[in-house]
């Protein structure tokens, strides 16, 4: 390809008819033809060989075609078809220099190539220059007539010929004015047109339907070069804005967009070489199809490699993107606008179809990102809903109102997000994702609702359990005639309180009355269940309770003080009272009485187990006599309400009597022992005999007071031993155990007493050598020294008897 400062040229078709597709592609890039759209024109020139065609083009358009060297003789200069761009002419104008006709170099092949090149020129050119000699005008056998016949004949091979401007350039004009030459030339052209065979459809078609005929005349280049160049310069001005209305090619039609020129020219030449009729409309559609598809593929590839799209696609995989729809729409519109700009001049039907295909491919490419964005939007909205819903509930808002308000608010938020995500080119429906979000929200609300109702129910059940368990246990423990009425009253009060609270709490859940009543009934049943469960639990410990009650009543008096069996108590009456109270406990525990139905359980148990007369009567009866406790059910009591069956009551009472019999026996033994301990003095007759027989010894003591002192000291010692050995307490359990115990304690007690007396005797001498006489006298005034000694000794013995060590008495200063 040849290139000057402003002009590029390349051989489009060589002398052998081979199309130079590489060269034309490079040429189009160099002249930037693809950017011109429809704003370009193609000019070609035909004429006899060595008629100065290249010279005319070079002077007219500033091209650099090779010219014939006149000094070397006339010969073929241009072989095949050459293409160049014009320098300095707007719009972009391409010039084709065709090989001359009637050349001796081709010989017989000249006619075939002449027709092919002429047809090619007519198919692609807007203006065709026909270079002819002035002296050929009016001649029957002029060199231009075969050329015109060729042009008109090949024109018939176009199914729908394009409107072409034929500009006849008369070379080496003589003195004959152009006004005289032009009519003759036009007449010759019309004759040739009329003589050319035409298809039936164009029999009467005028020449002007296919061609605009222009005639110009130029002086001889060799003889009048300056005038020639001046005329060429004037002619050049006519090629400026040649495609504008009123220009040389202002009424052209069927123009191929510049970006498709290379492919179009190549396909046209291919059809011509195959000697087929050239259907220009079909060719135009074919060129548009290929080029639009190429442009669409380029835009699709460019989109996939676009940095903004790649970043958007990568980012949306990990999280939502603000303004996703706006960004994606901007990228899509950018590439589709580029497609529209490049394909705007091609056939509208083809262009639109290929654009639609491009849109579909692009939308198919971006749809996963769109779905990911919708997924992020749905999950994000759901999480926000959960947070807001929980916050509303924690703030004290009613459940149904909070659910309704939050649902409406965040569904609207999702709709706003969908509006921001929407891809304008696609008619994608986000309703499925929206429905999925609503289902998720409803499922979450249902889950929270169930949890809240369960939590609420559990809360009131816990309150009922706390309010009923302890009091019911206490009431059953203190079994009396008012136990079950008190339990019923407690159950009613606490149940009404709980139901009232639960009913008030359920008002915020907007539930139907049937469900609400069901929950309240369930809570009421639960309260009864708590009481019944506690009653059954206590019934399982009834024996322990009975023994505890018996022990409490039997071992303590009416003031709850421990009972001392002194011998004055009526053990039989006390035992009967305690057993009656225990039987009362058993009768209370025997059945659940929450329905205030009367029964005779207590009377049955009392008559069968406690009543002495009845027991005696039962003993006298035969084995076959009726036993009221020989049954597994109570009269007037449903089995479901029975806690302890009659048979179990009888068994429990038998076990209770056996386990409490020992306490009664022990009480009787203690009472008898106490009576024996209280009768330790000798009989009265022995006391009288002792006085009568011991009168002499008594008188002896009166005559000798020293004996009285010895006896008094002995009394004190015996008293100390009595207290410390706890003789009365030891003999309370019997004589033999008392003697054995005293034998082991006697010697250590005597030794401790002697040691204590020795220590007391040493204290005044060691610690108070100068004792105050007044204090001493005071001590004697208060009593004898033996009195102090006896007090100390008694104190020591008492302490020892209580299980403590001796402590030194407090001395007086």
- For the annotated binding site for GTP, the residues are 47-54
Using DSSP, state whether 222 is helix, strand or coil. coil
The answer to whether 350 touches 287, Cβ cutoff 8 Å, is no
Separation of alpha carbons 230 and 222, rounded Å: 14
Separation of alpha carbons 346 and 287, rounded Å: 8
Taken in order 586, 587, 592, 596, is the CA torsion positive or negative?
negative
Report angle CA 428, 433, 434 to the nearest 5 degrees. Answer: 105
Separation of alpha carbons 483 and 490, rounded Å: 10
Question: In sequence order, what E strands does 496-623 have?
Answer: none
Binding residues: 47-54
The answer to whether 646 touches 538, Cβ cutoff 8 Å, is no
Distance separating the N- and C-terminal Cα atoms of the chain: 148
CB atoms inside a 10 Å sphere around CB 109 = 11
DSSP sequence for 47-103: -BTTSSHHHHHHHHH--------GGG-S-----SEEEEEPSS-SSEEEEEEEPPBS-
Separation in Å, CA 405 to CA 392, 449, 732: 10, 15, 86
Task: For residue 48, list its beta bridge partners.
Answer: 101
The answer to whether 268 touches 120, Cβ cutoff 8 Å, is yes
Separation of alpha carbons 424 and 437, rounded Å: 23
Kind plus residue range of the DSSP H or E element containing 215: strand 211-217
Q: How many CA atoms lie within 13 A of 39 on its CB side?
A: 10
The answer to whether 48 touches 101, Cβ cutoff 8 Å, is yes
Phi, psi of 810 (to 5 degrees): -75, 125
Q: Please choose, from the candidates 155, 172, 153, the residue with its C-alpha nearest in 3D space to the C-alpha of residue 163.
A: 155
Rg (C-alpha) for the chain, rounded Å, is 69
Q: How many CA atoms lie within 13 A of 327 on its CB side?
A: 19
DSSP sequence for 152-170: HHHHTTBSSPPPEEEEEEE
């Amino acid at each position: 390809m040849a290139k000057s400062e402003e002009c590029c040229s390349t051989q489009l078709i060589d002398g052998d008819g081979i199309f130079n597709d590489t060269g034309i592609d490079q040429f189009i890039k160099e002249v930037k033809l693809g950017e011109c759209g429809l704003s370009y024109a193609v000019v070609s020139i035909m004429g006899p060989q060595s008629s100065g065609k290249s010279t005319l083009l070079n002077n007219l358009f500033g091209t650099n075609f090779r010219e014939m060297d006149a000094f070397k003789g006339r010969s073929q200069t241009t072989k095949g078809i050459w293409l160049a761009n014009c320098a300095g002419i707007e719009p972009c104008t391409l010039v084709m220099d065709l090989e001359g006709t009637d050349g001796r170099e081709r010989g017989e092949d000249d006619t075939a190539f002449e027709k092919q090149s002429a047809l090619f020129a007519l198919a692609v050119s807007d203006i065709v220059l026909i270079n002819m000699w002035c002296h050929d005008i009016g001649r029957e056998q002029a060199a231009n007539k075969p050329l015109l016949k060729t042009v008109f004949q090949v024109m018939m091979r176009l199914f729908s010929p394009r409107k072409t401007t034929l500009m006849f350039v008369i070379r080496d004009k003589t003195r004959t004015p152009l006004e005289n030459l032009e009519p003759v030339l036009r007449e010759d052209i019309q004759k040739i047109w009329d003589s050319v065979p035409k298809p039936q459809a164009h029999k009467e078609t005028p020449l002007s339907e296919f061609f605009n005929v222009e005639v110009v005349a130029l002086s001889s280049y060799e003889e009048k070069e300056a005038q020639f160049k001046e005329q060429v310069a004037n002619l050049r001005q006519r090629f400026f804005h040649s495609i504008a209305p009123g220009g040389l090619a202002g009424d052209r039609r069927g123009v191929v967009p510049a970006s498709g020129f290379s492919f179009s020219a190549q396909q046209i030449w291919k059809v011509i070489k195959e000697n087929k009729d050239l259907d220009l409309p079909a060719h135009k559609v074919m060129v548009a199809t290929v080029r639009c598809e190429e442009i669409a593929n380029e835009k699709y590839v460019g989109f996939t490699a676009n940095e903004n799209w790649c970043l958007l696609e990568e980012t949306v995989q990990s999280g939502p993107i603000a303004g996703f729809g706006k960004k994606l729409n901007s990228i899509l519109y950018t590439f589709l606008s580029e497609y529209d700009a490049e394909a705007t001049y091609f056939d509208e039907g083809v262009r639109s179809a290929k654009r639609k295909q491009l849109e579909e491919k692009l939308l198919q490419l971006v749809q996963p990102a769109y779905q990911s964005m919708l997924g992020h939007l749905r999950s994000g909205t759901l999480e926000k809903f959960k947070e807001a819903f929980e916050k509303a509930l924690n703030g004290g808002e009613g459940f149904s109102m909070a659910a309704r308000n939050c649902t409406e608010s965040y569904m609207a938020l999702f709709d706003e997000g969908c509006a921001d995500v929407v891809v304008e080119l696609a008619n994608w429906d986000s309703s499925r994702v929206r429905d999925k979000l609503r289902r998720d929200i409803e499922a979450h609300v249902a889950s929270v609702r169930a949890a809240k109702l369960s939590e609420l129910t559990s809360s009131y059940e816990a309150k009922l359990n706390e309010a009923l368990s302890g009091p019911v246990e206490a009431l059953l423990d203190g079994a009396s005639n008012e136990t079950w009425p008190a339990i019923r009253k407690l159950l009613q009060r606490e149940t009404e309180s709980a139901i009232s609270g639960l009913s008030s709490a359920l008002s915020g859940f907007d539930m139907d009355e049937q469900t609400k009543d069901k929950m309240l009934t369930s809570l009421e049943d639960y309260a009864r269940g708590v009481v019944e469960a506690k009653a059954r639990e206590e019934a399982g410990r009834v024996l322990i309770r009975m023994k505890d009650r018996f022990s409490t009543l039997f071992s303590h008096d009416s003031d709850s003080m421990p009972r001392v069996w002194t011998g004055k108590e009526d053990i039989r009456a006390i035992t009967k009272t305690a057993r009656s109270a225990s039987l009362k406990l058993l009768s209370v525990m025997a059945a659940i009485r929450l329905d205030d139905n009367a029964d005779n359980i207590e009377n049955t148990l009392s008559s069968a187990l406690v009543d002495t007369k009845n027991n005696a009567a039962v003993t006298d009866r035969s084995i076959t006599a009726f036993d009221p406790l020989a049954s597994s059910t109570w009269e007037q009591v449903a089995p479901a309400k029975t806690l302890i069956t009659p048979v179990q009551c009888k068994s429990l009472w038998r076990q209770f009597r056996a386990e409490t019999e020992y306490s009664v026996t022990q009480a009787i033994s203690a009472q008898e022992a106490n009576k024996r301990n209280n009768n330790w003095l000798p009989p009265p007759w022995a006391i009288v005999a002792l006085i009568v027989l011991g009168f002499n010894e008594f008188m002896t003591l009166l005559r000798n007071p020293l004996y009285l002192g010895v006896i008094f000291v002995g009394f004190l010692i015996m008293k100390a031993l009595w207290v410390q050995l706890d003789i009365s307490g030891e003999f309370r359990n019997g004589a033999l155990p008392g003697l054995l115990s005293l034998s082991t304690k006697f010697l250590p007690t005597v030794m401790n007493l002697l040691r204590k007396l020795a220590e007391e005797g040493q204290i005044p001498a060691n610690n108070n050598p100068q004792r105050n006489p007044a204090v001493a006298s005071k001590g004697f005034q208060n009593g004898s020294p033996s009195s102090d000694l006896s007090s100390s000794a008694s104190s020591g013995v008492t302490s020892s008897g209580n299980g403590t060590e001796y402590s030194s008495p407090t001395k007086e200063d």
